[in-house]
Amino acid sequence: MSDAPSPSPTERVPPIVHLLGHAIAREPHVAVHYLLRGEEWLLRGQAERARADFLRARELAAQSLARSDWGYINQAYCDRAEAGLRQCEQRMPSVAATAESAFEAGSSDF
C-alpha cells in the first residue's frame, strides 16, 4: 500500500492515475505501477504524492532485484525512482533538507 496522500473527494484524479491506483490495488507488490503513478503525479505538480510512490517503487524494485535473474529491469525501475525522488527534492525544499540531514547522519531512508 502506498503512503501517498489520498486525493480529497472534490479533487479530480486524472484517468491514468486512477487506473494505476486500480493496478496497485490488484498487484501491490509490482514496482512499476508505483513508478508510473509517481511520474504522473510529478507531471501534475504533486511532488508529495510522487515522492511516496517513488519511495515504494524503489523499495519493491530493490526487493525484486535481490531475488531475480532479470535484475536489469528492476535496476532500471530503481534508477527511475531515484531520478523521480531527486526531482521531488528540487520541488520540495523541506524534503531536500531532511534527506541531506539523514544522509549526513548515516540514515538509509533516503
CATH code of 69's domain: 1.25.40
User: For residue 85, what pLDDT is reported?
Assistant: 96
The answer to whether residue 67 sits within a structural domain is: yes
Q: Domain span at residue 59?
A: 15-105
User: For residue 66, what pLDDT is reported?
Assistant: 85
> What's the rounded Cα separation, in Å, for the pair 78 and 76?
5
User: For residue 65, what pLDDT is reported?
Assistant: 86
The answer to whether residue 4 sits within a structural domain is: no
The answer to whether residue 6 sits within a structural domain is: no
pTM of the model: 0.73
Phi-psi region of 60 (alpha: psi -120 to 50; beta: other; left: phi over 0): alpha
The answer to whether residue 57 sits within a structural domain is: yes
The answer to whether residue 58 sits within a structural domain is: yes
User: For residue 109, what pLDDT is reported?
Assistant: 46
The answer to whether residue 27 sits within a structural domain is: yes
> What's the rounded Cα separation, in Å, for the pair 27 and 31?
9
pLDDT mean values, one per 10 residues, the chain (110 residues): 57 91 97 97 96 97 85 91 95 63 48
User: For residue 21, what pLDDT is reported?
Assistant: 97
Of the candidates 2, 21, 1, the residue with the CA atom closest to the CA atom of residue 11: 21
SS3 62: helix
The answer to whether residue 8 sits within a structural domain is: no
Supply angle C-alpha 100, 32, 46, rounded to 5. Answer: 55
The answer to whether residue 33 sits within a structural domain is: yes
User: For residue 110, what pLDDT is reported?
Assistant: 39
User: For residue 25, what pLDDT is reported?
Assistant: 98
Q: How many domains does the chain have?
A: 1
